[in-house]
Amino acid sequence: MVTDNDTIALSNLNRQFLFRLPDVDHGKSEVACAAAKVANPDINLKPRTDMIYPATESIYNDKFWNERTFVVNAVDNQKARLYVDSRCSWFEKPLLESGTLGVMANSQMIIPHETQSYGDHEDPPQDAVPMCTLKSYPFMVEHCIEWARERFGVTFTKNWEEFNNFVADPDRFMTEMKKSREGEIDKVLATISGLLTLKMESSKIGGKPDAICMQYARDMYDRDYNHAMKDLTTTFPLNHEKDGQKFWQGSKRFPDAFAFNVEEEYTQLYMFCMANLLM
């Protein structure tokens, strides 16, 4: 049995070997089981979308834990690790604890009565926010801060680096894109096209670069704070369920889309700062 209540995001593709571009927006457990079946047709797996935590102990009850031979853990937060570890310790089940964070990885084999359990030691504070949480489901203030930092870096560093590389050598740029990021070509080219328009219009004699930059900032506001939210909530409405479980539960908070309102103080501040940075 494999369970994960999350769906695959584009950011999940660069640090594992089970998911591919067509799998984006599909359930992680379902796709992982299918990929494992390809590697080993004899394996018997059942995908589920439940979270394993105190609220689901009616599903993951004594009978469930007693029937396990061993457990493999690969979750993105310490609270979940500690909970599964406590269950394995109570029911005396071996646990393979594992995880990744950026370029780092860890694994720990925990054997009842033979080794320390995961809860016997304390991990150092986790400085980085898991990328899947950062991209799709930020729910704490620090998540939103990291999201803003990431967006700033993409907007004013990464996008312009790609623009400059494309202008310098379009053929080489496209060849490298097809080798390593084929699924992102349309999105990257759309961004480059927007930056090219911004640069050309702003450089025209007698033009109004402030107006061009304001329009670009408005488009970014709509994309990040309105359209992205509407796309997500259209795909997963408030009462959406997967396999009988509510999709919006636990750390997944239902987001609100922000309509552009020029009278709102923070909207004015956003437009002022963004347009000035683009000039």
Contacts of 134 (CB under 8 A, 6+ apart): 11, 143, 146, 147, 150
- 69 token code pair: 């031979």
Neighbours of 226 (CB within 10 A): 15
Instruction: Provide the residue count of the chain.
Output: 279
Cβ atoms of 52 and 1 within 8 Å: the answer is no
In the chain, where does DSSP find H-type helix?
A: 28-39, 62-67, 78-91, 131-136, 141-153, 159-168, 170-180, 185-202, 209-222, 228-235, 265-278
- Dihedral in degrees, nearest 10, Cα atoms 87, 89, 94, 97: 70
Catalytic residues: 132
Q: How far apart are CA 239 and CA 249, in angstroms?
A: 10
Q: Which amino acid would we find at residue 56?
A: T
Please report which helix (H) or strand (E) contains residue 105, including its range. Answer: strand 104-110
Handedness of CA 223, 174, 165, 179 (dihedral sign): positive
Q: How far apart are CA 244 and CA 231, in angstroms?
A: 23
Cβ atoms of 8 and 25 within 8 Å: the answer is yes
